[in-house]
């Protein structure tokens, strides 16, 4: 069982990049400043290549080294 906080992400300053198809109230990925949230196991299947691409994009977005 997962607990996923739901609130007005935009009002709190978060930029939402993805939401659940079945419940658009629940954000699955987003960020605020240098804080990133991602719930990878909820509503999507992620293969290794997609995961690596996502992480590389995050590193680029925040100018981080893996």
Segments making up each domain of the chain, as ranges: 15-61
Question: Whole-model pTM?
Answer: 0.57
| Residue 16 CB burial class (10 angstroms; 0-12, 13-18, ≥19) | middle
Q: What is the pLDDT of residue 13?
A: 94
Q: What is the pLDDT of residue 2?
A: 63
Question: Residues 14, 6: contact at Cβ < 8 Å?
Answer: no
Question: Residues 34, 55: contact at Cβ < 8 Å?
Answer: no
Q: What is the pLDDT of residue 60?
A: 84
pLDDT in tens, 2-51: 666 677 888 999 998 888 878 888 888 888 888 888 877 655 566 777 77
Q: What is the pLDDT of residue 1?
A: 60
């Amino acid at each position: 069982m997962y607990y996923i906080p739901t609130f007005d992400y935009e009002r709190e300053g978060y930029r939402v990049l993805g939401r659940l198809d079945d419940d658009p109230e629940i954000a699955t990925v987003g960020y605020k400043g240098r804080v990133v949230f991602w719930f990878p196991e909820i509503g999507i299947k992620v293969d290794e290549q997609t995961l690596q691409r996502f992480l590389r994009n995050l590193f680029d977005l925040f100018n981080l080294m893996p």
